[in-house]
Amino acid sequence: MPQTVSPEEYKKLLTDMIQKQIIILGPDIALLKARNVEEMEIDQHGKVTEIHGDPKQALQKLIKSYMELSGLIVQKTMEPLLQKYPTLLPTEGEGPQGGMQ
């Protein structure tokens, strides 16, 4: 049975990701990229205050936004963080279109 994940858990993960990127990329770039994800509202410190719509979609867009910017560096810094939140990640074969393949 799938485990239900609260919006607060998504907010925490997204905030952790943004704050980690602030350290790596600097606040200007990290916050600019995060604010391009329209499903989230973010304060000046990188804390996600609201998620509008599907939190998984917000997570995927944020990861994609940072990956486009610095690819492998972001991937390597995100992997340990993402492993702390395995229930929040899409399962194998699940993508932006939704559903299992």
Q: Pick 7 or 50 by higher pLDDT.
A: 50
Integer angstrom CA distances of residue 80 from 8, 20, 26, 67: 20, 11, 20, 15
pLDDT given at position 88: 75
Place of tokens 């492993």: 83
Tokens (6 digits) for 90: 């899409």
Mean pLDDT (whole number) for 12-17: 96
Place of tokens 């049975």: 1
Domain ranges of the chain: 7-85
Residue 84: pLDDT over 90: no
Beta bridge pairs of residue 48: 42
First to last CA, the chain: 18
Nearest Cα to Cα of residue 76 among 19, 13, 21: 21
